[in-house]
Amino acid sequence: MRIDILTLFPEMFEGVLQHSILKRAQELGAFQPNLVNFREFTTNKHKKVDDYPYGGGAGMVLAPQPIFDAIEHVTEGSAKPRVILMCPQGEPYNQKKAEELAKEEHLIFICGHYEGYDERIRENIVTDEISIGDYVLTGGEIGAMAVMDSVVRLLPDVLGNASSAPEDSFSTGLLEHPHYTRPADFRGMQVPEVLTSGDHGKIEAWRREQSLYRTATRRPDLLSDAELSDKERDQVKKWQKD
């Protein structure tokens, strides 16, 4: 997968790209990042990429010319990429969207600053608008890092263990079950006996129940889309009533 990142602050991504899963994905050849400072594409003699909004108002607006030219540069000779605008007005990001984007060969992120984007960018270039939450960040870089990480870790062989991604929280529609490791007794706190029983059927049943309980008590909104048996739905109602 190729990912182009249009940003005024490419140095923000250097640390993220050189560690952990994103570094591993590059070493495996699964992921090729390209940092593009779209200020380099401005035709403004002062290297400005923003201007005052028509109609007045506070803040500055990113001008269309630098971003249009930067997009044309990174898409030259390329098939149709997904062009993602990081924007608080975008659709709320979730695991389903990550899985969708992980199937693409070429993604482009546009990371804005200032008050917003010239609307012609949104209307003529962008294929997806994404928000990582109902709060305001200084720019789109941190959001783009989060989306990029969540997508790249889904690429084949990147995690090493093929079952890791499907078992993550949200991948099944439920939150993930609790985890324990050695020692079995730590300062008098015991690992649940079922996990040391060696009975894989009971272990899976326990994990499913714990996952369901956590979701019902912490994120009940997720249950509307989860695939549950009638018995599980009855159990959820009991927990919620209690």
Residue ranges of the annotated binding site for S-adenosyl-L-methionine are 112, 132-137
26 and 57 Cβ atoms separated by less than 8 Å: no
Q: Pairing state of beta strands 50-51 and 185-186? A: unpaired
- Catalytic one of 4, 33, 64, 153: 153
What residue spans of 164-199 are helical by DSSP H?
164-167
The DSSP result for 55-68, as a single string, is: T--SS-EE-HHHHH
Which of 24, 39, 53, 88 does the annotation list as catalytic? 88
Kind of pairing between the strands at 189-190 and 185-186: antiparallel
- Cis preceding linkage at 183, omega within 30: yes
Cα separation of 154 and 99, whole Å?
A: 7
Say whether 88 is catalytic: yes
Which one is catalytic: 168, 208, 214, 232?
168
Q: Mapping DSSP to helix (H, G, I), strand (E, B) and coil, where does residue 216 land?
A: helix
Give CA–CA dist 219/238, Å, rounded. Answer: 16
14 is catalytic: no
Q: Could you confirm whether 82 is annotated as catalytic? A: no
Contacts of the segment 49-54: beta carbons below 8 A, 24+ positions apart: 49/8, 50/113, 50/114, 53/115
Residues contributing to the annotated binding site: 112, 132-137
- Distance spanning both ends of the chain, measured CA to CA: 48
Catalytic annotation on 242? no
Phi, psi of 109 (to 5 degrees): -105, 135
Residues assigned a catalytic role: 88, 115, 153, 168
